[in-house]
Structure 1
Amino acid sequence: MCGRITQTRALEEYGRAVGWTEEEIRRRDIGGYRPEFNAAPGVPHLILRNVDDQPTIEMVAWRWLSGWAKKEGIAPAINAKREKLLGGYYRSLMKTGRVIVPADGWYEWTAEKSHKQPWYIKAKNDTPLFFAGLTNHFPDQEDEESTGFVIVTDDAAGGMVDIHGRRPVALSAEDARTWMDMTVTYEQAEQIARQMALGPDCFEWFKVSTDVNRASNHDAHLIEPI
């Protein structure tokens, strides 16, 4: 599961970290961006993508409602299971809507003494993370209620399972660029998500304030260890 993330850097930093230059980055609909220490689903957050071979940064809502889910009255999805990427449910997004969700970390929760204890997980070297994502948003097309993005998740491993059974698929900068390359087939992209995700040894995790539990809290102290 990945239910809250942080995006705390200047947006140009994420572009540079993935290997883009300032001159080639196109910015779309990012007037509302601000550093987020407790970014929750349902509202717009930064994504990186290639649009007509142009490196692009934009803000898109963290949610996705497929036609089937809408018909069945199911709530919008925020995550996509890696093991289902080749199925019919996600195939169209895999073919046309692969994006990267830049982040500095994410939160998970454990139940301790009858309350939910949040944990913050980030890269050991404190560099930006690049989560594999999918979107049905396309520039220059009017968004609908169902338009947004999801973050690809996979089984947790190597101790992280103690925090939660799943984790976002985080890629290196090189693999993130390949994931966004629409000339790469969706089958090849699935292999990247399955084989190239950063392992548990790349991360550190620690308990943080329960102030994280309230989505309206956005202060920097939320990511400090307790």
Structure 2
Amino acid sequence: MCGRFALGIPRKRLQERFELAEVPQAPARYNIAPGQLVEAVVQTPERREMRLLKWGLIPSWAKDKSIGYKMINARAETVAEKPSFKTAMRRRRCLIPAQGFYEWHDENGHRQPWFITSRNPEDVLALAGIWEHYESQEGEIIESVAIITCQANELVSPLHDRMPVIVVPKDDARWLDPKQSDPAQVADILTSRPWPGMLAYRVSTRVNSPKNDDSGLIEMMSGQQDDVPEN
């Protein structure tokens, strides 16, 4: 499951990480939630570019756009087969920039949020995604996205059994290439693997509300510096 993430990294770092000609200016965001617009890197015939996509994939054939609220994630094991995802998996793969993502864990009878991120605060994570183009009968056009998840690794598994797929830079071009239409040729990118240099720590329950969106949400709770899982 990946249901909330943050992106508060300098824009220049995004441009460098994804080899983009330009990156539109945008405010830092620390509580990105389903249903909101998210930034995603896509490959066009001319170049890579950053687009705004609605989080919650709406298949092109959907009769009701509200189906997107149920489609925020796609499982790596079945994304190439599910009717809602298989066309996008072949033709419209993307990368979603992130600073880190949140996960909730039951602790002493309440849901405690954790933040999973890199030890280097300026590292850009690239979450594997698929996107779709939807047009309603009334002519409304929505471009939407789902984040692909896989089995959790040793860092995330104490918190949840799923985690977002993180694409390493050497796999960016292959993942984005729309000419690579056989899912089997990119299936290895979706496998669970260790994340060197990543860590997980508790954060404030203020993140529970999407109305809160400030850098304080990703700050480590005091008193746990010696109790932080890392990969």
Secondary structure of 1:100's match?
A: strand
Identify which of 52, 60, 63 aligns with 2:56. 63
> Equivalent residue for 2:163?
167
> Equivalent residue for 2:211?
216
Once the two structures are TM-superposed, the CA of residue 2 in structure 1 deviates from its matched residue by: 0.5
> Equivalent residue for 1:87?
81
> Equivalent residue for 1:144?
141
CA contact 1:86–1:190 (8 Å) conserved in 2: no
Counterparts of 1:164 and 1:133, CA distance in 2: 20
Q: Which runs of 5+ in 2 are unaligned?
A: 222-231
Identify which of 34, 37, 47 aligns with 2:30. 37
Once the two structures are TM-superposed, the CA of residue 216 in structure 1 deviates from its matched residue by: 0.6
Identify which of 92, 101, 119 aligns with 2:96. 101
| 2:190 is the alignment partner of 1:193 | yes
| 2:184 is the alignment partner of 1:181 | no
| 2:94 is the alignment partner of 1:124 | no
Counterparts of 2:62 and 2:111, CA distance in 1: 29
Q: In the alignment, residue 72 of structure 2 is paired with which amino acid?
A: I
CA distances 1:11-55 after superposition (whole Å, capped 9, x unpaired): 34212112x15xx34x6xx57x32101111101111011111411
| 2:157 is the alignment partner of 1:157 | no
Once the two structures are TM-superposed, the CA of residue 87 in structure 1 deviates from its matched residue by: 0.4
TM, length-normalised to structure 2: 0.83
Once the two structures are TM-superposed, the CA of residue 66 in structure 1 deviates from its matched residue by: 3.0
CA contact 1:38–1:218 (8 Å) conserved in 2: yes
Residues 143/124 of structure 1: CA separation in 2 closer, same or farther (3 Å cut) = farther
Secondary structure of 2:133's match?
A: coil
RMSD between aligned residues: 2.4
Aligned length: 213
> Equivalent residue for 1:9?
9
Once the two structures are TM-superposed, the CA of residue 191 in structure 1 deviates from its matched residue by: 2.6
CA distances 1:165-193 after superposition (whole Å, capped 9, x unpaired): 10000011121222011122332122322
Secondary structure of 1:84's match?
A: coil
- Higher mean Cα deviation, 155-164 or 165-174? 155-164
Once the two structures are TM-superposed, the CA of residue 200 in structure 1 deviates from its matched residue by: 3.8
> Equivalent residue for 2:42?
49
Once the two structures are TM-superposed, the CA of residue 198 in structure 1 deviates from its matched residue by: 5.0
CA contact 2:151–2:161 (8 Å) conserved in 1: yes
Counterparts of 1:128 and 1:84, CA distance in 2: 27
CA contact 1:137–1:149 (8 Å) conserved in 2: no
Counterparts of 1:108 and 1:76, CA distance in 2: 18
CA distances 1:86-126 after superposition (whole Å, capped 9, x unpaired): 20422210121100000000000012222211000002333
Counterparts of 2:61 and 2:70, CA distance in 1: 11
